[in-house]
Chain A
Amino acid sequence: MSQEIEKIYYFIKRDITSFSTYKTNMILMVLGALFGAISYAYLGNNATMQSVLQLYHLSFKDYLVIGIAFSTYIGQALTLVQATATPWQLEEVLVSPTKLGTFIIGSSAWGFIWSTVVVVIYLAVGSLAFGVVLSVNLIGTLLVLALGIGTLVGFSMIGAGILIVVKQGDPMTWLMGILTSVFGNVLFPPQVMPSPLRVVSYFVPQYYFFTCIRLMMTGQSVQAILPDLLTLTLMCAIILPLGYLIYSWCLRSARKNGTLSWF
């Protein structure tokens, strides 16, 4: 019996030793739990529901369904490039006469298509089964989506670039996940948070994306979201090319150091 217990001890020791070598991942997991607790605490707060009604003139159910539908889409979009552009696939494609841009777009295209299907299912079920009221401003929605996707692809490329270098525990995806859940206006409006935290939201593109998309899904005009839309446009114009540059730089660095296919 004691031998078997000793074996279990060595299994645990093996896993702790292995896990502790991925320090970034370890820190991110602990902090992720902390921020998760904060966002769920606000979700169950009465003040949140009142705030939603005041700010968006929506029921909390409508607010939540639209937010969760598009957060699924955003969550997938954020990890698209790193999930599909695995180091070994990168090696295979980088020895072929294929441009990096083609590779990134090609690798992530299906993910975007599938995310769209998931969003449509969410909204259809919400609308048909739970009476969520939708009045879609199609052009506005497509515009916000294009800007949101552009921004998120930028972050996704930054995350993929970091992953190519650090190999495990992509801090960008983690950071964007936290920012989306706590400051992104998905589960609760940031206005219910204390003002120092609320200010953080104004630097997070997801806040503008969710604000705009909710209003476009409930029939508002583009003029109604113009200031937020312009901020999102500016963010997209900065983050998308920046993401491409960082991804290209990380790729060059991994090629130079011969670490492309490590993981």
Chain B
Amino acid sequence: MNSSVAIETHNLTKTFKSRERNLEVRRSVFNRREPEMVTAVDHLNLEIRRGELFGLLGPNGAGKTTLVKILCTLFPPDEGEALVNGFDVVSQQMDVRRSIGSLFSVGERGAFWRLSGYKNLEFFSAIYNVPRSKRHERIMEVLDLVGLKDKAFVRYQKYSGGMKRKLGLARALLPDTPILLLDEPTVGLDVISSRTSREFIKNDLSKKAGKTVLYTTHYVEEASQICDRIGILNMGRLVACDTPQAIRGIVKKGEVVEIRVKSIMDVQIEAIKTIEGVIDVVSETEDFVVGQRRLRLHLGSIGSLPIVLDFFFKEKILLIDLKREEPTLEDAFMELTGTGLEK
């Protein structure tokens, strides 16, 4: 065990029976098929250093939540091992639990809706062994930290979605553990609440308090803004793990060009993808009424650009603007996984 490492996994693997069933296929009692198995986490080797704010990026089903649930002892791994704060998630579960605060993406289901935020935290502070003499002080402290002090005695059921999420974060902070596992902490939050939460996690939890934070998200911008390092998870495998800058460098091989156009149809965008030298195209509607779109083209080399422009000319697609761009984390993600991320 390395003392500078807060979380480490070695060949960690978790397989589940597939949740998907074909409802149209009726099977007789005597003709039961073997369930399909899905490998959610696949021989994962990962090291998160103490005090690090580590972002785990990946599309739906990449294995992010499964990994978090293994790390917080909820799911036992099938193979390999995971150590949290130096403790094994299988054989030293209680030590692991004393070392972590966790927030799940559907955490509000575990809250008690008819109790106030304060009363919810009072219950969880007992569950998390916060000493009785310090409970009130600690509850008010975390409520203040997440900006819910004024609403402490309002019933949870009257909280907005953002407030519920903040209370979930407050609950994760209650035991004042060295490690925080935050599974999509900003999901469902409005833009301002999301930014406030991100700043709080980066400035207060990571920088000031020096906590190790594992932060899973769909949102590429979030991860690139706040995380010290990022891991990209795809189909249970870690396909990249480095600083945001270094991961962006992965797409340095090609060129990224951003083009604004009018009057382009989906079928034409698909046709651009088939042009030789075009690695990928991401399209975003900017003005639906006038049919203006922004295309982000990832090209093998700048030499492919004239072919693309010639296509626009032939198809009578109106070009408004064109510029070379620095590759983003999303470009890197596309290249590594062939899948888009949500914005």
Q: List A residues at the B interface (Cβ < 8 Å).
A: 88-89, 91-98, 252, 255-258, 260-261
Contacts and interface: CB of A to CB of B under 8 A. Distances in A.
A203 to B, nearest CB: 30
A97 B97 CA distance: 5
B224 interface: no
B307 interface: no
Contact of B100 (A88, A94, A95, A256): A95
Interface stretch (B103-111, B157-165, B308-316): B103-111
Contact of A257 (B17, B72, B98, B102): B17
A98 B127 contact: yes
A97 B74 contact: no
Contacts of B107: 92
Interface of B: 14, 16-17, 40, 66, 69, 72-76, 94, 97-98, 100, 102, 104, 106-107, 109-110, 124, 127-129
Contacts of B94: 97
A148 B14 CA distance: 42
9 contacts: A92-B110, A92-B124, A95-B73, A96-B97, A96-B127, A97-B129, A255-B75, A256-B76, A258-B75
B128 A88 contact: no
A95 B129 CA distance: 12
B3 to A, nearest CB: 22
A89 to B, nearest CB: 6
B127 A88 contact: no
Contacts of A261: 106, 109
B106 A94 contact: no
B24 to A, nearest CB: 12
Given A257-B17, A258-B40, A96 B75 contact: no
A177 B310 CA distance: 77
Contacts of A93: 127
A257 B74 CA distance: 11
Contacts of A94: 73-74
A95 B104 CA distance: 11
Given A88-B110, A97-B94, A256 B74 contact: no
Nearest to A94: B74
Nearest to A256: B76
A8 B98 CA distance: 53
Contacts of B17: 257
A98 B265 CA distance: 58
B68 to A, nearest CB: 10
Given A96-B124, A255-B76, A261-B106, 4 more contacts: A89-B110, A92-B107, A93-B127, A258-B75
Nearest to A102: B127
A256 to B, nearest CB: 6
B98 A91 contact: no
A62 to B, nearest CB: 39
Given A255-B74, A257-B16, A88 B106 contact: yes
A95 B175 CA distance: 12
A256 B79 CA distance: 12
Given A93-B127, A97-B97, A97-B98, A88 B109 contact: yes
Contacts of A98: 127
B16 A96 contact: no
Residue from A96, A252, A255 having most chain B Cβ neighbours under 10 A? A96
Contacts of B74: 91, 94-95, 255, 260
A91 B104 contact: yes
Contacts of B69: 258
Contacts of A255: 74-76
A97 B175 CA distance: 10
Contacts of B102: 95
